[in-house]
Structure 1
Amino acid sequence: MLGVEAQKSPKGKWTMPPFDPRFPNQNQIHNCYQNFLDYHRCVKAMSRCGQSSQLCEYYFRVYRLLCPLSWVQRWNQQIQDGPFAGKI
């Protein structure tokens, strides 16, 4: 879906994502997955409207901090191939 250059971290470094009250526990797996889905939904919605996907940067930054790279690569491959379980 996105090339390697497009998936590099945006400018400005975060050491940890901001607190999200939807995910108050220490285990952040669901937070990782939800932000991955939110990012791809945001990009899809912005492209439909013909707008820049720069507004989706927040979700990108959060999932890149929380999700292991191997998961992200597997999910992106599944999105391209078709069997991805999440609804985007």
Structure 2
Amino acid sequence: MSDAAEITKLSTAGFDARCWQNYVDYYKCINARGEDFAPCKQFFRAYHALCPNEWIEKWDTQREEGRNPSNFEV
């Protein structure tokens, strides 16, 4: 097989607890300080970098419907 014909297998990153924790910390932060509080944006960037989009979409839906198991209040 030539280098040009080499196949690359893509896969979703494995579980990383920092993903979920940054998601929860972001919503706790904005609930306590508001969306314009700059330090909250670090949590947002972190979970978007660590979490697969499908997970974020699922958690957002659960949170909006009040079914997410986490407590987002401080």
Note whether the superposition's TM-score is higher than 0.5.
yes
Name the counterpart of 2:37. Answer: 53
Name the counterpart of 2:52. Answer: 68
Superposed, 1:7-86 pairs within 5 Å as 29-47=16-34, 52-86=36-70
Aligned-partner Cα distance in 2 for 1:42–1:80: 17
- How many matched pairs? 59
Larger radius of gyration: 2
1:44-85 residue CA offsets vs partner (Å, 9 max, x unmatched): 0013xxx72322011011100000000001100001101101
TM-score (norm 1): 0.61
Q: CA deviation at 1:86?
A: 1.1
Unaligned runs of 5+ in 2: 1-13
Q: Secondary structure at the match of 1:85?
A: coil
Name the counterpart of 1:22. Answer: none
RMSD of the TM alignment (CA)?
A: 1.7
Identity %: 31
Unaligned runs of 5+ in 1: 1-26
